[in-house]
């Protein structure tokens, strides 16, 4: 890669590097996902570029989440970048990402002087951008590697999918807009509730024994963003590190940081009944579709309620709309145990829960018409979904 | 602004806050209340920088560390400033949503967060109620500073949950010092403050072209008066009258004349710190030689008489004419 002449004799050189355009464009693209033009913190409109001894790091943040990508100097025997002078700069993100995409040459040279003016050259094109003081950029937590535990990427995605849907969307109890994560004795348990329903899942993690007991609450919106940026390389492991202020997910050369919610998460174990008066096993898809059909009428009504009647080894799903009529459907359970029962619940909540389960069949526990309904996939004791019934009479 | 200056300007406020910071006994919410220009914003900045500064001294924050600089530039992620947009009747819904979100989240960098709400009276009642919830159940390490000039427009429930810090109007001396720090033209500072006794009004005057012109014309008129009555009268017709074309402006003109004679009196009494026309010291001293303190008092009472006539809606120019003739007699 070619060397550049220092062109500004008046200002000291603050950073100088050369990067492969495609690598840079990829990295910028990724960190842009964390950058918002609506931020109230001016420096966060920029992307931070740090040239270090091992490679080049890009950071983007909206303060709630931060994404960092690392371009190693060398990868699989190929040269990605050369750092001539280590240093850092914050550049206007939208402009920078656009210009990087439109550059023609394979290499991009970035040269920054002490007045934060960045000269970006590629082929015959030269841009001069006014950067911002990198000292103004927020600190990301300093990570102590020993606290990390690891989890397979596909499992992480499942855990997020199976819990985050149940977080509260109203701000009345802000802590409920997050998912509680607890690591204890090599096991990670996640729980979310909006106080009408609850979802929880636990999983064994690697290295978890050493990480002690930690509890924290991650904003649901952050987890949704994380899911989006995790690529499909499912078997890969993700390192997870919990700090007081933030949680870090690290996979390959991408690091995802999320802030945490403050406040005490309620003790959800008391919500979950331990006994069962009626237990029914049903095919997950059969039940889902029956409720979906019943909800065709039910959703015309205000609260989208369907009724379930279990009696004599039969399950009847029904709903009615005063204007439109009624619908009945009978299902034959794979297994039925306990008392006959009539119960009403939100079709949406039941479908949300069933839709997140991969198991062929589910086991549903009822305690009574006004007590929580527990749904568990058959074959996986680590997943539990709960919904509260609705009083309809 | 440092703690020493705050002590001079707002002794009680400085004492309460400094004490609370030193003993780590800050309340969760303070309401900084008082007229414009009394240093509420600067005090919020001072408290915040003192809390986050990496090397604070007894005087205050260092202003040079990363935290101090980022607080001043609005880039510190754990300091949340909310202020109504310029000209907006209320603080926007999105701004309140942002505030609420920040209340619910832990800090980005540290366990400490400071929330500053300027013109807090511009929150809607609904916003105030959401805020109330957080003030009532604060997370540890959070500090809310509400700033208002209109405390009575806030909900009683908010006021009662905050420790109220009342900012008192500044002395003329403190107002001029503060305006001086703003880099406003020195010769205009003291006359403007003497006229208004109010920071914002004085700043406004100093920025008005008319005021600078008025001041120099009054000085010109007085100079003419020292030379000959005729010169002064001519000056009134040609220059003065067109510029002081209504009674309100003429009142300002009379006051500016009054300060001149008051300055002469102050000089006689050796009260230099009260002198308004500081930049005219040489001329004042020169005139003092031939002008007794009694004459100064007499001139002042003539000007006050003229002001009464103006208040009684006598035509401004004729009031000034008559005054100049009578002042000519005191020479
Ligand atoms: Zn400092």
pLDDT of residue B238 exceeding 90, the answer is: no
Give distance in angstroms: CA of B38 to centre of ligand 1: 24
Contact between B175 and B167 under an 8 Å Cβ cutoff? The reply is no
Considering only the beta carbons, identify the residue of B66, B74, B105 that sits closest to A262. Answer: B105
Tell me A368's DSSP state: -
Which residues of chain B neighbour A246 with C-beta distances below 8 Å? 108
Distance from CA of B55 to the nearest CA of A (A): 17
- Gap between the Cα atoms of B307 and B313, Å rounded: 10
The predicted model gives A203-214 an average pLDDT of 78
Domain segments of chain B: what residues? 3-169, 208-330
Q: Are A337 and A356 in contact (CB under 8 A)?
A: no
pLDDT confidence of A1, banded at 50, 70, 90?
very low
pLDDT value for B120: 95
pLDDT in tens, B267-276: 999 998 889 9
Check residue A217 and give its pLDDT: 97
pLDDT of residue B296: 92
Per-residue pLDDT band at A207 (split at 50, 70, 90): confident
**Strands lying side by side in the sheet with A107-113:** A81-85, A13-20, A107-113, A117-122, A125-130
Could you give the domains of chain A?
13-136 (3.10.150.10), 148-188+203-259 (3.10.150.10), 272-387 (3.70.10.10)
Query: How many angstroms away from the CA of A164 is the closest CA of chain B?
Result: 17
DSSP for B75-109, please give it.
--TTEEEE-PPTT-SS--HHHHHHHHHHHHBPPSS
Q: The whole model's pTM is what?
A: 0.84
CATH of domain B3-169: 3.40.50.300
Please report which confidence band the pLDDT of residue A209 belongs to, taking 50, 70 and 90 as the band edges: low
The domain made up of B208-330 is a member of CATH 3.40.720: no
Query: Using CA atoms, how far apart are residues B167 and A29, in angstroms rounded to an integer?
Result: 50
**A259 vs B97, B103, B108: nearest CB:** B108
Centre of ligand 1 from the C-alpha of residue A249, in Å: 32
Interchain proximity A245–B100, CB inside 8 Å: no
Contact by Cβ (8 Å): B264, B300: no
Ligand 1 centre distance from Cα of residue B66 (Å) = 7
pLDDT bucket at A201, cuts 50 / 70 / 90: very high
Q: Do B111 and A244 touch (CB under 8 A)?
A: yes
Angstroms from A265 CA to nearest CA on chain B: 12
Q: Which of A340-349, B141-150, B153-162, B169-178 has the least mean pLDDT? A: B169-178
Sheet holding A237-242, edge to edge: A87-92, A46-51, A55-61, A65-72, A254-259, A246-251, A237-242, A149-152
Mean pLDDT of B58-67: 94
Task: Tell me if chain B has a CB within 8 Å of the CB of A169.
Answer: no
**Six-digit token pair at A108?**
């991009």
- Rounded to the nearest angstrom, the distance between the alpha carbon of B208 and the centre of ligand 1 is 37
pLDDT at A383 over 90: yes
- Helix, strand, coil content of chain B in percent (nearest 5): 65, 10, 30
């Amino acid at each position: 890669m070619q060397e550049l002449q220092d062109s500004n004799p008046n200002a000291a050189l603050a950073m100088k590097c050369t990067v492969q355009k495609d690598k840079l464009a990829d990295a910028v693209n990724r960190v842009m996902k964390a950058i918002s033009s609506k931020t109230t913190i001016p420096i966060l409109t920029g992307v931070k570029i740090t040239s270090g001894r091992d490679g080049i790091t890009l950071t983007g943040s909206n303060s709630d989440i931060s994404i960092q990508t690392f371009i190693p100097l060398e990868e699989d025997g190929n040269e990605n970048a050369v750092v001539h002078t280590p240093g850092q700069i914050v550049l206007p993100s939208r402009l920078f990402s656009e210009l990087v995409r439109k550059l023609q040459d394979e290499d991009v040279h970035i040269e920054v002087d002490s007045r934060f003016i960045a000269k970006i050259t590629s082929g015959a094109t030269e841009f001069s951008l006014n950067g911002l003081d990198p000292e103004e950029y927020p600190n990301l937590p300093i990570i102590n590697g020993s606290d990390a535990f690891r989890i397979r990427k596909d499992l992480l995605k499942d855990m997020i999918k199976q819990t985050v849907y149940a977080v509260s969307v109203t701000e009345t109890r802000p802590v409920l807009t997050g998912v509680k994560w607890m690591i204890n004795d090599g096991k990670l348990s996640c729980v979310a509730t909006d106080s009408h329903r609850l979802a929880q899942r636990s999983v064994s993690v690697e290295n978890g024994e050493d990480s002690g007991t930690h509890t924290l609450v991650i904003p649901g919106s952050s987890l949704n963003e994380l899911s989006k940026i995790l690529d499909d390389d499912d078997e890969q492991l993700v390192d997870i590190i919990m700090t007081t202020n933030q949680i870090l997910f690290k996979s390959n050369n991408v690091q995802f940081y999320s802030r945490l919610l403050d406040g005490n998460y309620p003790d959800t174990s008391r919500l979950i009944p331990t006994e069962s008066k009626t237990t029914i096993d049903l095919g997950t898809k059969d039940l889902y579709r029956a409720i979906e059909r019943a909800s065709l009428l039910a959703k015309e009504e205000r609260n989208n309620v369907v009724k379930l009647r279990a009696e004599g080894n039969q399950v009847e799903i029904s709903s009615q709309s005063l204007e439109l009529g009624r619908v009945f459907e009978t299902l034959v359970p794979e297994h039925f145990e306990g008392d006959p029962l009539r119960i009403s619940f939100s079709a949406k909540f039941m479908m949300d829960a069933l839709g997140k389960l991969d198991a062929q069949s589910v086991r549903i526990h009822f305690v009574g018409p006004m007590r929580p309904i527990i749904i568990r996939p058959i074959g996986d004791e680590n997943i539990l979904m709960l919904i509260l019934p609705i009083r309809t009479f | 602004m440092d703690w020493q200056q705050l002590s001079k300007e707002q002794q009680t406020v400085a004492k309460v806050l400094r004490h609370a910071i030193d003993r780590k006994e800050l309340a969760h919410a303070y309401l900084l209340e008082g007229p414009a220009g009394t240093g509420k914003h600067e005090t919020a900045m001072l408290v915040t920088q003192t809390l986050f500064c990496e090397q604070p001294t007894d005087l205050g924050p260092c202003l040079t560390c990363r935290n101090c600089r980022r607080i001043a530039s609005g880039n510190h992620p754990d300091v949340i400033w909310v202020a109504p947009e310029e000209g907006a009747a209320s603080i926007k819904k999105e701004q309140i949503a942002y505030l609420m979100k920040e209340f619910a989240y832990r800090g980005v960098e540290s366990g400490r967060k400071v929330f500053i709400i300027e013109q807090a009276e511009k929150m809607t009642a609904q916003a105030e109620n959401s805020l109330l919830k957080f003030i009532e159940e604060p997370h540890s390490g959070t500090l809310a500073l509400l700033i208002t000039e209109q405390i009575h427009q806030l909900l009683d429930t908010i006021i009662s949950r905050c420790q109220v810090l009342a900012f008192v109007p500044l002395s003329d001396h403190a107002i001029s010092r503060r305006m001086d720090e703003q880099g406003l033209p020195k010769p205009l500072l003291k006359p403007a403050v003497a006229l208004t006794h109010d920071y914002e009004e004085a700043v406004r005057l100093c920025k008005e072209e008319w005021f600078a012109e008025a001041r120099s014309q009054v000085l010109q008129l007085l100079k003419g008066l020292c030379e000959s009555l005729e010169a002064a009268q001519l000056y009134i017709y040609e220059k003065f009258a067109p510029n002081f074309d209504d009674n309100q402006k003429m009142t300002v003109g009379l006051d500016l004349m009054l300060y001149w004679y008051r300055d002469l009196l102050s000089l006689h009494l050796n009260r230099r710190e009260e002198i308004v026309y500081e930049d005219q010291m040489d001329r004042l001293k020169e005139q003092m030689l031939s002008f007794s303190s009694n004459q100064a008092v007499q001139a002042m009472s003539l000007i006050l008489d003229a002001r009464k006539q103006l208040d009684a809606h006598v035509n401004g120019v004729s009031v000034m004419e008559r005054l100049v003739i009578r002042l000519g007699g005191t020479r």
